[in-house]
């Protein structure tokens, strides 16, 4: 179960300057092209090289560095240009016939880029002022929940760091929070069987994501309260170099909105046996601390210490950055 880092490289065309003196010289000509680099998957619904088959780019030309407050609509440049490919080995293509130019350095103009998967083109919206937004719905069924990655490049010119020979790299980042579970047996001499884990009254439904800073942010005003059940697959062996056992299968991860979760309750149903004798069977709960928070692009692993009988469940929270974990890190464990 390994993390994904995803980048799509966009070679922005500079194909001549006959249209306007505000565009770079024709000796810098290149056509738009795309390649993608996708690290290993963490679950079936994660964005991977195999299933990332379409994305859409919107860009806007601004007179100077964008302050996040002015209107962008009058300066639309690439207006919802979609790129697709048939499979991971195929090149990115587009049916768009437009030719796009970098503004000349002497003009002082900048380009703002916003990109997202081409899954629901109507979800993209540009307000009268400020950054664009997209709407996104979290599925009620965890196994059907989708990963969401977006890219945002601000104040870009042909000389910006990261632009080489007119080629701009769009780094797509995960903007949900991914939740997983593991457990430590309170009594290692007993046999444990975990059958259900759930959380209640967290925000689900539809949220609005804004590209308004380096990471963006979510508006969950119209989101609804939801409960989710974890797809438990208990490992019979400890995670390598750890003292806990994984409870995750390939589709177990919750992909949920970043949000405040202080006081939310996690329920765990499990049993313990000593030989053929049942010691405990039932459901226990643990309440998340008042300051608990799921943040954007974060991996959260809750390690539950399950007592043999009547004692309370202990909880430890392991947090990692979904967008910076190396390919080899066991990030769902």
Q: What pLDDT sits at residue 45?
A: 57
What backbone phi and psi angles, to 5 degrees, belong to 121? -55, -30
d(CA 77, CA 63): 13
Helices in the chain by DSSP H: which ranges? none
Residue 12 has pLDDT above 80, yes or no: no
Residues in CB range of 264: below 8 A, 6 or more apart: 199, 200, 201, 202, 287, 288, 292
Task: Say whether both 250 and 209 belong to one domain.
Answer: yes
326 occurs within a structural domain: no
Task: Say whether both 114 and 205 belong to one domain.
Answer: no
Domain boundary among 138, 156, 174: 174
Mean model confidence pLDDT for the chain: 80
Task: Say whether both 151 and 44 belong to one domain.
Answer: yes
Q: What is the pTM of this model?
A: 0.83
Contact 168, 38 (CB under 8 A): no
Task: Say whether both 156 and 197 belong to one domain.
Answer: no
CA torsion angle 246 300 52 81 (round to 10): 170
SS3 content of the chain, % helix, strand, coil (to 5): 5, 45, 50
pLDDT tens digits, 185-197? 999 999 999 999 9
The confidence band for 101, taking pLDDT boundaries of 50, 70 and 90, is: confident
Task: Say whether both 103 and 194 belong to one domain.
Answer: no
Residues in CB range of 105: below 8 A, 6 or more apart: 24, 157, 158, 159
Closest CA to 321 of 292, 293, 300, 290: 300
Residue 277 has pLDDT above 70, yes or no: yes
The confidence band for 42, taking pLDDT boundaries of 50, 70 and 90, is: very low
Query: Which domain range does residue 135 map to?
Result: 6-174
Residues in CB range of 109: below 8 A, 6 or more apart: 22, 61, 62, 63, 64, 103, 157
Count the domains in the chain: 2
Task: Say whether both 255 and 230 belong to one domain.
Answer: yes
Q: Which has the higher per-residue pLDDT, 32 or 153?
A: 153
Closest CA to 52 of 194, 167, 174, 161: 174
Task: Say whether both 200 and 140 belong to one domain.
Answer: no
Q: Which has the higher per-residue pLDDT, 88 or 222?
A: 222
Task: Say whether both 104 and 22 belong to one domain.
Answer: yes
Contact 37, 6 (CB under 8 A): yes
10 occurs within a structural domain: yes
pLDDT winner (highest mean) among 171-175, 213-217, 236-240, 257-261: 257-261
Contact 202, 292 (CB under 8 A): no
Task: Say whether both 11 and 153 belong to one domain.
Answer: yes
Task: Say whether both 120 and 262 belong to one domain.
Answer: no
Q: What pLDDT sits at residue 48?
A: 60
Task: Say whether both 139 and 208 belong to one domain.
Answer: no
330 occurs within a structural domain: no
333 occurs within a structural domain: no
Residue 131 has pLDDT above 50, yes or no: yes
Task: Say whether both 138 and 162 belong to one domain.
Answer: yes
pLDDT tens digits, 144-181? 998 898 989 999 998 888 787 777 888 888 899 999 99
Torsion 120-126-132-133 (CA) sign: negative
Domain boundary among 174, 209, 232: 174
Domain boundary among 151, 174, 197: 174
> Which CATH number characterizes residue 302's domain?
2.60.40.2630
d(CA 224, CA 153): 31
327 occurs within a structural domain: no
Q: What pLDDT sits at residue 213?
A: 75
Residue 214 has pLDDT above 80, yes or no: no
Q: What pLDDT sits at residue 121?
A: 66
Instruction: Locate 161 and state its tokens.
Output: 């760091």
pLDDT tens digits, 54-68? 889 999 999 999 999
């Amino acid at each position: 179960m390994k993390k994904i880092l995803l980048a799509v490289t966009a070679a922005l065309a500079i194909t001549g300057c006959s249209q306007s003196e505000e565009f770079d010289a024709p000796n810098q000509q290149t056509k738009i092209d795309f390649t993608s680099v996708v690290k290993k998957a963490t679950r079936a619904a994660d964005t991977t090289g195999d299933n990332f088959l379409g994305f859409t780019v919107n860009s806007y030309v601004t007179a100077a560095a964008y302050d996040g407050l002015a209107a962008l609509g009058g300066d639309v440049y690439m207006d919802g240009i979609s790129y697709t490919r048939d499979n991971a080995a195929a090149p990115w293509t587009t049916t768009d016939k437009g030719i796009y130019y970098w503004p000349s350095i002497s003009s002082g103009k900048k380009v703002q880029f916003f990109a997202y998967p081409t899954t629901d083109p109507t979800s993209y919206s540009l307000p009268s002022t400020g950054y664009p937004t997209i709407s996104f719905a979290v599925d009620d069924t965890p196994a059907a929940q989708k990963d969401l990655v977006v890219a945002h490049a601000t104040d870009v010119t042909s000389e910006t760091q990261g632009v080489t020979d007119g080629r701009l790299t769009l780094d797509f980042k995960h903007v949900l929070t991914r939740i997983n579970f593991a457990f430590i047996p309170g009594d290692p001499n007993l046999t444990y069987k975990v059958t259900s884990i759930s959380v209640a009254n967290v925000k689900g439904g539809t949220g609005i994501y804004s590209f308004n800073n380096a990471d963006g942010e979510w508006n969950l005003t119209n989101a609804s309260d939801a409960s989710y059940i974890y797809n438990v697959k208990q490992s019979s062996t400890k995670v390598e170099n750890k003292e806990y056992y994984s409870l995750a299968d390939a589709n177990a991860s919750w992909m949920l909105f970043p949000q405040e979760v202080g006081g939310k309750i996690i329920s765990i149903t499990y049993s313990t046996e000593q030989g053929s004798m049942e010691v405990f069977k039932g459901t226990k709960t643990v309440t998340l601390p008042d300051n608990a928070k799921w943040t954007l692009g974060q991996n959260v692993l809750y390690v539950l210490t399950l007592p043999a009988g009547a004692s309370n469940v202990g909880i430890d929270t392991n947090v990692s950055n979904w967008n910076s974990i190396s390919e080899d890190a066991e990030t769902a464990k």
